[in-house]
Amino acid sequence: MTAQLNPRGDVAVLVPAAGAGVRLGPGRPKALRLLAGEPLLVHAVRRLAAAPSVHTIVVAAPVADVEAVRDLLAPVAPVSVVPGGAHRQASVAAALAAVPAGPEIVLVHDAARALTPAELIESVAAAVRAGADAVIPVLPVVDTVKEVDSEERVLGTVDRSALRAVQTPQGFRRAVLAAAHAGAGDPLTDDAGLVEKQGVPVRCVPGSEYALKITRPFDLTLAEHLLAADGVASDSSVARTLF
Ligand SMILES: Nc1ccn([C@@H]2O[C@H](COP(=O)(O)OP(=O)(O)OP(=O)(O)O)[C@@H](O)[C@H]2O)c(=O)n1
Ligand SMILES: C[C@](O)(CO)[C@H](O)COP(=O)(O)O
């Protein structure tokens, strides 16, 4: 049986957490590396469990660590843990297959975005509840962006006003995400990409700086400082990052 959080919630969250974390450098799988003394996955799941709409959480863990992740998360929140796949898309598909009947909104959320505030989780879910088939949190691109060739010669300057940096959680009507994964081909880097290929419109909502993806060592250092500075996930952390 799948563990439940809020029985009145209408949201299932899939947490791909099976990545190695190659860009973070040598060590344990990234979701199990420590941030302020606790694994990234614990930080991420704690924030998901604090979102009132969340009914079910399914974590896709590194294959060798499924039992360890179950033990790790047992005191944090009721979650289901399944073995992840060879790439992110396969891990999401494995978690999706384990969602019980009930929740009609499904969010996909990287364990690596460990400081994502509950308010962002709720705002993505609310946008799906309000009628969108697919919703992604985004931030504006702040750097000038150049297109280059294979020898790093600049081909041109891209109009950044039409660009967005995409975060998770990404939210979907359940049937839309299921159809997108059923029809998936080569792995893409996010779930909205699969949905776009089905011709389904994807809506943007404002993201949060705190939903940064901990990818490289600098990101981990930044996350440590953010936690130390204000405890993160305050009510204002979404509003502070609006366009
Ligand atoms: N086979 C995989 C690969 C990635 N992920 C998850 O997808 C999320 C986003 O991926 P990323 O941050 O790029 O993680 P890694 O793939 O671990 O990073 P790297 O490319 O540096 O190894 C992470 O929570 C990661 O654990 C996963 O569940 N299964
Ligand atoms: C899903 C994602 O976090 C949105 O920004 C991102 O696409 C994951 O990509 P990665 O290459 O696996 O880090």
Report ipTM (2 d.p.).
0.98
Record the tokens describing residue 74, joined without a space.
């047992």
Q: Identify the band that residue 234 occupies on the pLDDT scale cut at 50, 70 and 90.
A: very low
Domain 11-234 has CATH 3.90.550.10: yes
| Measured distance CA(141)–CA(156) in Å, rounded | 17
Taking the domains of the chain in order of start, what are their residue ranges? 11-234
Contacts of residue 192, defined as CB under 8 A and 6 or more positions apart, other chains included, come to 134, 136, 166, 170, 202
Contact between 12 and 103 under an 8 Å Cβ cutoff? The reply is yes
Which residue's alpha carbon is nearest to atom 12 within ligand 2? 189
Ligand nearest to the CA of 170: 2
Contact between 54 and 9 under an 8 Å Cβ cutoff? The reply is yes
What pLDDT, on a 0 to 100 scale, did the predictor assign at position 243? 36
pLDDT digits (tens, 9 = 90+) for 37-74: 999 999 999 999 999 999 999 999 999 999 999 999 99
Question: In 3-state terms, what secondary structure has residue 87?
Answer: coil
Contacts of residue 162, defined as CB under 8 A and 6 or more positions apart, other chains included, come to none
Indicate the pTM of the whole model. Answer: 0.94
pLDDT digits (tens, 9 = 90+) for 166-220: 999 999 999 999 999 998 999 999 999 999 999 999 999 999 999 999 999 999 9
Contacts 24+ apart (CB under 8 A), 145-149: none
Contacts of residue 38, defined as CB under 8 A and 6 or more positions apart, other chains included, come to none
Q: Identify the band that residue 6 occupies on the pLDDT scale cut at 50, 70 and 90.
A: confident
Q: Looking at residues 222-227, what average pLDDT do you find?
A: 96
Q: Residue 240: is its pLDDT beyond 70? A: no
Q: Which of 12-16, 115-119, 229-233 has the lowest mean pLDDT?
A: 229-233
| Measured distance CA(160)–CA(21) in Å, rounded | 29
- Nearest 5°: CA angle at 137, between 134 and 140? 130
Q: What distance in angstroms lies between residue 17's CA and the mean position of ligand 1's atoms?
A: 6
**Which of 206, 184, 220, 32 shows the shortest CA–CA distance to 119?**
206
Alpha-helical runs (H) found in the chain: 40-49, 66-73, 88-96, 118-129, 174-182, 191-197, 217-230, 236-239
Ligand nearest to the CA of 85: 1
Q: What distance in angstroms lies between residue 191's CA and the mean position of ligand 1's atoms?
A: 13
Which residues approach ligand 2 with their CB closer than 6 A? 88, 110, 166-168, 189-190, 213
| Ligand 1 nearest-atom number relative to CA 215 | 12
Record the tokens describing residue 136, joined without a space.
């992604």
Q: Which residue has the tokens 């080569």?
A: 186
Contact between 189 and 88 under an 8 Å Cβ cutoff? The reply is yes
